[in-house]
Structure 1
Amino acid sequence: MKKSLFLVFALVGLFFASCNRENINAAQDDLTELVQLSAARSAATTDTITKQKCKGKLVEITAADLPAAITAYINTNYAGAEIQFAGKDTAGQIVVGLKLADGTHKGLIFNADGTFSKALEKYPKGAKLTKVEVSALPSAITGYAASHYADYTVKAAGRNDTGEYFLIIEKTTGTEAEVKASRKVLQFNADGTFKQETTPPSHPEGPMGKRPKHGK
């Protein structure tokens, strides 16, 4: 009987330990994805072509709100691509950042009527992000974060092909909802100097609540 009870408690303990690990891993994956989406948004909004052709600030939109002509174009020309960012300017033009099936990135601009306009020039380098362990961040970056965001902790980080760093930080105390709401994105130049603070981007969700992979 004692052996049976011991086995039961042991199995229950393993079950909860496994669940906790899965929850931690899922949370970390979400934070890593936020860093990647932040890089994609920054790459799309700061690309030289975006600045030349778009009018005013880009307002993020969901994949579900993209005109049918745009989704059809993506389906036809970039089957299997994942939408990482979509935004509309004041003139109705739409910028879309894609992660292609082969892992590369592509940025596109569409006219207000949904017809293709032009590909972004520097988007691939700015959107491609390599995960960086928090412990491996340059001291200039961790020092800035500790000094200017003392009640925050760095949760995830990455670096794009141009050398810029992106960090997700959140409050160290509060309820789960409060901590999540406190999240910020910090962007640093390649030399470790602070560039800007933004809010985490919203997921360009499709009709099913998931970021769509076109052509599947």
Structure 2
Amino acid sequence: MEIKIGHIELVNNPIESANDYFAMQNPQNTRLFCANELDIETARSIIDESYIASEEIKQILIAALSYNTYAQNALLKVLEEPPSGTIFIIYAKMKSLLLPTIRSRLPIINHIKQQRLPHFPLSLKTLNLEGVYRFLKEREKEFNNPFLKEEIQSLYLDSIKYGLSFSAREAQIFEKALFWENQYESTSNIFAVLLLLVLRKKKQQFNVTLKG
């Protein structure tokens, strides 16, 4: 007999979706853990809760906008060998927010509704070094921005639409940037790399136009 341990749900708004589901369940056997970033303390609370005996099947709902790597590693054992009668449902915006070891333990259900990405906060047409400096100063104390990945994607797409052409190596920098926050890089450091790259490509494009 297959033992059901739960699943991962990909949704546009993890916290809202988890709360909506929780509202329809019996609070006696459903526990909800929500956070902007799932940290190690919350992970320990989840583990403690999972070992509290229940007469009926207990659901543990976990929803966050970002997931701390240490917290995920802490949850691995309880997801691999869950207490009897405990089901885990993890809500996330993207599967890339979760470690491969987490994803391998639970089936993934995709409920993402495709949404058009907003434009990057800075205009590529007027982007210059001064504007980049002001933008980075505004973001220098920012960590765990729940919209960071969307902003990185928006910057890349806006750059392509503007007419900039990236090499495979340069495009890979944008891909790597999606995971830099998990390594505790600040938002300003991440965008310093990307925006200076975009400025350099703009300069190269301008020089090619002049020669033409």
TM bin (shorter chain): under 0.3
More helix by share: 2
Q: What TM-score does the superposition give when structure 1 sets the normalisation length?
A: 0.24
Q: What TM-score does the superposition give when structure 2 sets the normalisation length?
A: 0.25
More strand by share: 1
